[in-house]
Chain A
Amino acid sequence: RKEVEQDPGPFNVPEGATVAFNCTYSNSASQSFFWYRQDCRKEPKLLMSVYSSGNEDGRFTAQLNRASQYISLLIRDSKLSDSATYLCVVSRGAAGNKLTFGGGTRVLVKP
């Protein structure tokens, strides 16, 4: 079993719609959680950190469920520019420790 698992998608989303997807992690010792965005043939870019109480950044909302060991990302009012692969990233320690990446969830926003 992979340490971090994601639905690869693609999620085909009409522009303006809401899309949500999850990520599960197997190591209960995981402490830091992030969502990164990766565009085709580019490096990952941090979208947002995920906090225990859940957090929101504009149209993006992230939730953490430690009991069930999953993280979610919700995108509201999807834009064409949101089309990308979203990577769930977990660290056992502080953010400066080794990161474990999920396989990514591909999102395609269409007009």
Chain B
Amino acid sequence: GAVVSQHPSRVICKSGTSVKIECRSLDFQATTMFWYRQFPKQSLMLMATSNEGSKATYEQGVEKDKFLINHASLTLSTLTVTSAHPEDSSFYICSAPPQGLKNQPQHFGDGTRLSIL
């Protein structure tokens, strides 16, 4: 069964709307979670590293004020796309490494397909 739950799976909304995406680790604690974005026919690109209890670390070129990340607990990270525009339409996906287990592959959420009209 899924060990990382991502919600919602699909969002369609108007330009200017802010959209919140949740990523939950279901049966393990995740002090770190990663947020990726994938445009059509492209690979996953890391956007930011979400750190429990501290600020997220953003990759170069990713606007931290546009993509707000909150990691308030050991099982939940949220990504908010603020004032979304059509160019933000993409597949957003989170991942979480099992805490305390070195070299164990990360678990991915099911992804959120965001469409901004």
Residues of A within 8 A of B (CB): 32, 34, 41-46, 49, 87, 94-104
Contact = CB atoms under 8 A, between A and B. Distances in A.
Contact of A101 (B43, B97, B103, B113): B43
A53 B111 CA distance: 33
Contact of A96 (B36, B42, B98): B98
Contact of A103 (B43, B103, B109): B43
Contacts, number: 55
Contact of B44 (A44, A94, A95): A44
Interface of B: 32, 34, 36, 42-46, 49, 91, 93, 95, 97-99, 101-106, 108-111, 113
Contacts of B111: 42-43
B91 A41 contact: yes
A102 B42 CA distance: 9
Contact of B104 (A87, A95, A102, A104): A95
B103 A99 contact: no
